[in-house]
Structure 1
Amino acid sequence: MSNQGFGFTPGGDDDDDDRREGGNPFGFFGFPMGGFGAAGGKGGQPDLGELLNQFGQMLSGMGRQMGESEGGVNLAVAERMARRALGEPEPVRDSERTALTDALRLVELWLDDATALPAGANRAEGWTPVQWLEHTLPTWRRLVEPVARRMSDASLEGMPAEARRMMGPMLGMMNQMNSMNFGVQLGQALAELAGSALTGSDLGLPLSATGAAVLLPRTLGEAAEALELPAREMIVHATAREAAHQRLYEKVPWLAERMISSVEEYAAGLTMDYSHIEAASREFDVEALQDPARLQEALGKLQGMDLTPRVGSANEHARTRLETLLALVEGWVDVVVGEALGERLPGAAQLDEAWRRRRATAGAEQALKKATGIDLAAPKTAEAAELWRRLGTAVGVARRDAVWDHPDFLPVAEDLDSPAGFIDSVLGGGADDDFDPIAELEEQLRRERAEGDERDRGGRTGRSGEDPGEDAAGSGEDAAD
């Protein structure tokens, strides 16, 4: 998978350099106050028909929709757009629910041999794409809202002060239109995600808090047909992945919050740089407007330039943290499911490979990135899987899984490239010792408290040693008087 963090557009080999140097990851913010850049035509150029269609949708019922706008993204518009695109899918049949329940019972037994984490799902649920949308919208709001709000604010901050004063009365309306535009594009992206989702945790995030192993049986059936594999094998494999995710989410309650807070922290530091646009405008010769040939030449130069604001963040470490967490989650699931299914499922190897390809090329995730600026890619999942595999070999399954007990004990980004040091740190207590990271942390805090108490006692003892002498001297003087 290409090394892309959330919020950065796909492309050639220069993508990673572009994001470090301030390339604009937010395709829809093609204009200072937000535009309609998510629509694309041939050669990556905007599709005029689609732009006009979006604009018409925004104008339709403008008053009602603006009244629904809250914050940076109009979620009501997003939901309506997604529902319209998804239509009315057929409900999940009872026989499909029964198959999912049977599959969950089976894979939970197999997962018990591959991980020390207990079962996290209390039931299996079969969803339609519309149900997936309904249950995951609250989480999407938390992920998207801080990015949308900060981008709208940064757009205003980047405008000249005089322009802001001139626009004063219109700023509120423009913010609402930005919120609606964001909602339109988010709705389109979520429709694609819902239409291609196989489980409730395809993206490595616990998108719903139902306590169930969530699967979409119709989409799974279509995927099995495309791979020319029995539908039952696809269901068992997907259920194993979903059940493994649920074990992790249940055992590690801080994990989801840490992922979402990473997006919020990254968004808080977003900035927009218009300097290259201003430089281009200064080079534009006003006299060229009088000469058609010179005007055509000038427009040709502008057409080849990137006139979108350059977006960066003062909190790049938050993006790295999210990438690393997603890679660790997906890598751990890859290893655990691979060990659990092993020789038990004939098509397991083919399904593992198909899942890796899907993760690397999924178009729905790219649609989400284009619409919201959030890329949930985990570029180093293979490296994370290798780390978990080697760690399990070195210390055993129980000590491997105990690493999830506290975020401070997890591998960091550098450990994915060079896991030997991290494995040695886990081995540090000796191969025969029980590894309890929480106990070690508590012991460290206890020692620090004890040292602090000792310093406090020493200070009090020193002062009390001085006070009696002073008091005695004072008493003597009083007596003499």
Structure 2
Amino acid sequence: MSDNNGRGPEDDDAQKDPAEELREALRNMLHGGQGFDASKLAGVAGLPGDPALVQQLVAQMQRALMQDGKGFSTDTAAEHAKQIVSQGHREVSDEEKTRYEHTFRLAELWLAEATTIGELVETPRTMTRREWVGESAPTWASLAEPVADSIADALMRALTEQLPDEMLGMVGQSNTMLRNIGGAMFSMQLGQVIGDLAKEVISGGDIGMPVLTRRRATLIPQNVDAFGEGLDIPASEVELYLAVREVAHARLFQHAKWLPLHLTSQVIEFAHGIQIDVRAIDDLASQIDPSSPEQIREALSNGSFIPPRTPQQEAALARIETMLALVEGWVDVVTQEAVERLPKGEALGEMMRRRRASGGPAERAFSSLVGLELRPRRLREASAMWRLVGEAHGVEERDKLWQHFDGLPTSDDIDNPMELVRRIGVSDFNVGDEMDAALESLLNDPSSFGEAPEGGSIKE
């Protein structure tokens, strides 16, 4: 006896939803059927061909088939990032926690002599790479999500090239399903970048903007150790210098209560303005061999899918870079004044300036992925400006400039700091030709900041 009201198998086939047919076919394909090469799919997603990562990607694709959303997931990115950092990951030992507690306390004491901005309300902490991933992933996802939809279209095209011919006719009826898969692939690629970043960042403020959900001064001992490797500097000096810098950064963002939201909203607004040029994608797709995942991975990693910036975006990026330069310049000056008694303080400062100016591989990968560089391009000029204001009017007047956004120095002030000094008030400071010459020398001669090699040992 039949329970389908007399309909035969032919009627069932006629009633079957084409989208469900494609869903089932894709599910079978991802399980290894129809000659599908999952490692090529991993290549399309910009991921290494590691078998474990390939298997994880396939699992994400299978879950994406059942979703009604757009496939992009912060949880997926964070989960993948944590797997990336699991290799070589180590916890913070009790001895390290105790040592860093003392280091942070000393950093607070030294900063009291270099800034009038008050001590931190929350106690500084140490953190593992996995913990950094968990607390920063939501921020990175909010920056990347505006681009995810457009990138998903490109990934969908690449995925379509992998489908058997007999399935291509069903693609048009299942656009949402394939976009889910593209979004999941983008999530995995973002997770790869976040995981790589977790191996590079030293502190909570290392990127320049607040990325952790709990805004506390934070150091990652495992990465601090990696930073100090090969340097002819005692580990205790490296740790203390980085602690002073991180606490200075955290103090600034705690004091200028408007600053975290202002900077983050500017960056997110810029990301929302990014629109992928479909024609550019089509042109690029015509030049890429779909059987060569390496070509697609290269296109994703070098920013080929991100169109040239519009004039409006260039102006927005200039504002972001100015704000980052003001933050980094102030932190740089305050840190250098606080660590004057450190034998290698100047050398470490120069290393950090060069590091912030160039960025690491993972930072550059994130820039290519979402079209946004978090580089303080005028760090040295901003440092010179903050130093000049402090010398002219004292530390208290310098730090007061952070109280309100309207009183903050502008891009023009970075270009012409003497005008800023005059605008604040002459006081007893000599603003004549002698100081102008000294300032010009400071801006034009990088050695005034102290020199350090790009890497290797720093000798006495």
Decide: shared fold, TM above 0.5. yes
Q: Match for residue 97 of structure 2?
A: 97
1:119–1:382 Cα change, 3 Å: same
Q: Does structure 1 residue 257 correspond to structure 2 residue 261? A: yes
1:155–1:134 Cα change, 3 Å: closer
**Separation (CA, whole Å) in 1 of partners of 2:242 and 2:344:** 12
- Map 1:15-26 to 2 at 5 A: none
Shift of 1:407: 1.4
Q: Match for residue 143 of structure 2?
A: 143
* SS at 2:339 equivalent: helix
- Map 1:66-215 to 2 at 5 A: 73-87=72-86, 89-120=89-120, 122-149=122-149, 169-215=173-219
Aligned residues of 2:70 and 2:176 also touching (Cα < 8 A):
no
Q: Deviations over 1:343-401 (max 9, x none)?
A: x2111112112212222242221122233333211111111111111111122111111
Shift of 1:403: 0.9
Q: Does structure 1 residue 234 correspond to structure 2 residue 238? A: yes
Which of the pair has more CA radius of gyration? 1
Q: Match for residue 252 of structure 2?
A: 248
**Separation (CA, whole Å) in 1 of partners of 2:280 and 2:214:** 48
Q: Does structure 1 residue 431 correspond to structure 2 residue 427? A: yes
**Separation (CA, whole Å) in 1 of partners of 2:175 and 2:278:** 19
Q: Match for residue 352 of structure 1?
A: 349
**AA of the residue aligned to 1:346:** P
Aligned residues of 2:45 and 2:155 also touching (Cα < 8 A):
no
**Separation (CA, whole Å) in 2 of partners of 1:108 and 1:309:** 43
Q: Deviations over 1:80-107 (max 9, x none)?
A: 2212211162221111111111111111
**AA of the residue aligned to 2:395:** V
**Separation (CA, whole Å) in 2 of partners of 1:372 and 1:223:** 27
Aligned residues of 1:387 and 1:419 also touching (Cα < 8 A):
yes
Shift of 1:268: 3.1
Shift of 1:144: 2.1
**Separation (CA, whole Å) in 1 of partners of 2:403 and 2:359:** 32
The alignment yields a C-alpha RMSD, in angstroms, of: 3.4
Q: RCO (CA 8 Å, sep 6+): is it higher in 1 or 2? A: 1
Q: Deviations over 1:111-155 (max 9, x none)?
A: 111111101253231111111111112222222223434666999
- Map 1:258-273 to 2 at 5 A: 258-273=262-277
Q: Match for residue 378 of structure 2?
A: 380
Deviates more, 1:114-123 or 1:271-280: 271-280
In structure 2, list runs of 5 or more residues that go unmatched: 1-41, 157-169, 288-298, 429-460
Aligned residues of 1:38 and 1:371 also touching (Cα < 8 A):
no
**Separation (CA, whole Å) in 1 of partners of 2:393 and 2:370:** 41
Shift of 1:328: 0.9
1:263–1:361 Cα change, 3 Å: closer
Q: Match for residue 392 of structure 2?
A: 394
In structure 1, list runs of 5 or more residues that go unmatched: 1-34, 41-46, 157-165, 285-302, 433-481
Task: Count residues in correspondence.
Answer: 359
Q: Deviations over 1:312-335 (max 9, x none)?
A: 344433222211111111111000
Q: Match for residue 332 of structure 1?
A: 330
1:81–1:101 Cα change, 3 Å: same
**AA of the residue aligned to 1:103:** T
1:152–1:412 Cα change, 3 Å: farther
Q: Deviations over 1:246-288 (max 9, x none)?
A: 1011011221211221122223333344557778999x9xxxx
**Separation (CA, whole Å) in 1 of partners of 2:285 and 2:214:** 53
* SS at 1:379 equivalent: coil
Aligned residues of 2:208 and 2:328 also touching (Cα < 8 A):
yes
**AA of the residue aligned to 2:384:** E
4+ residue runs of structure 1 moved beyond 6 angstroms?
A: 35-38, 52-56, 153-156, 276-282
**Separation (CA, whole Å) in 1 of partners of 2:76 and 2:281:** 31
Aligned residues of 1:72 and 1:148 also touching (Cα < 8 A):
no
Q: Does structure 1 residue 219 correspond to structure 2 residue 217? A: no
**Separation (CA, whole Å) in 1 of partners of 2:201 and 2:231:** 16
Q: Deviations over 1:157-186 (max 9, x none)?
A: xxxxxxxxx975333224323321221111
**Separation (CA, whole Å) in 2 of partners of 1:280 and 1:104:** 51
Name the TM-score, length of structure 1 as normaliser: 0.66
1:367–1:275 Cα change, 3 Å: closer
Shift of 1:38: 7.4
**Separation (CA, whole Å) in 1 of partners of 2:56 and 2:155:** 23
**Separation (CA, whole Å) in 2 of partners of 1:315 and 1:230:** 44
Aligned residues of 1:73 and 1:183 also touching (Cα < 8 A):
yes
Q: Match for residue 437 of structure 2?
A: none
**Separation (CA, whole Å) in 2 of partners of 1:325 and 1:273:** 29
**Separation (CA, whole Å) in 2 of partners of 1:69 and 1:357:** 46
**Separation (CA, whole Å) in 1 of partners of 2:399 and 2:65:** 48
Q: Deviations over 1:5-46 (max 9, x none)?
A: xxxxxxxxxxxxxxxxxxxxxxxxxxxxxx977749xxxxxx
Q: Does structure 1 residue 412 correspond to structure 2 residue 416? A: no
Q: Deviations over 1:57-87 (max 9, x none)?
A: 5433423245578667322221222122111
1:189–1:281 Cα change, 3 Å: closer
* SS at 1:198 equivalent: coil
**Separation (CA, whole Å) in 2 of partners of 1:181 and 1:240:** 40
Q: Match for residue 446 of structure 1?
A: none
Aligned residues of 2:224 and 2:239 also touching (Cα < 8 A):
yes
